[in-house]
Amino acid sequence: MTRKLIAEALGTFALVFTGCGAIVVNDVSGGAIGHLGICTIFGLIVMAVVYSFGDVSGAHINPAVTIAFWLSGRFPGKEVAPYIVTQCIGSIAACGLMLFLFPNEGTYLGSTLVSGTVMQSFVMEAVITFLLMLIIIMVATGSKEVGTLAGIAIGAAVAVLALLAGPITGASMNPARSLGPALVSGHLQDVWVYVVAPILGAALAVPVSAVVKGPSTD
């Protein structure tokens, strides 16, 4: 269990430090990375984490994913809370380091904030997380994101969905990814959207995936 939790903490740290770090560096450098670059970085780091930690912890690095795997019966309930706490710790640690590196420039630390209406952001976050979780379930083995093509499929989904929704919602799809920057930067006004909507979207993917995959042939 300890190895799994360490893997989840490190994987989430890597996701937030590189992904949210790309947002901070983009702001500091006057847009040198750009929206496409930021989305690519998020997708590539997710792919790398899946291949690096998938065999150890499943590479959930996302409370919504952990909860959805539990709802699907693939993940033990007793491990849900430790996974979520560890994922959030990894995110907070990454944001703390970014604040140390960019104490003046990194004000928002890549926080996900509503652009437009709350309804737009909530629905879009729920939908893109639903699509991401559906893809994860279809390519995962049990509750583990492992396999030759799993990392490519999941990383590509993250990048594409972020390209679509990033300008409107910040494309979180991950409560831990949003909680870390919000808590460390103090910008908590929209954080509930990025906690509730991804969990709802991921949960909805569970019954839909069961219909798509059909009954087990084992």
In a domain, 117, yes or no: yes
pLDDT in tens, the chain (218 residues): 799 999 999 999 999 999 999 999 999 999 999 999 999 999 999 999 999 999 999 999 999 999 999 999 999 999 999 999 999 999 999 999 999 999 886 679 999 999 989 999 999 999 999 999 999 999 988 888 887 789 999 999 999 999 999 999 999 999 999 999 999 999 898 999 999 999 999 999 999 999 998 765 44
Number of structural domains in the chain: 1
Residue-level pLDDT at 104:
81
Long-range contact pairs involving 75-79 (C-beta distance under 8 Å, separation at least 24)? 75/143, 79/1, 79/4
Amino acid at 192: W
Residue-level pLDDT at 5:
97
In a domain, 16, yes or no: yes
* Alpha-carbon torsion (51, 55, 56, 61), positive or negative: positive
What is the signed CA dihedral for 134, 140, 145, 151, rounded to 10 degrees? -80
In a domain, 218, yes or no: no
Q: Smallest Cα–Cα separation from 134: which of 56, 69, 75?
A: 69
Q: Smallest Cα–Cα separation from 7: which of 76, 88, 87, 107?
A: 87
The continuous run of DSSP H or E covering 199 comes out as helix 191-213
In a domain, 15, yes or no: yes
Residue-level pLDDT at 145:
85
In a domain, 60, yes or no: yes
In a domain, 175, yes or no: yes
Which residue range forms the structural domain that includes residue 208?
2-213
CATH number for the domain that contains residue 75: 1.20.1080.10
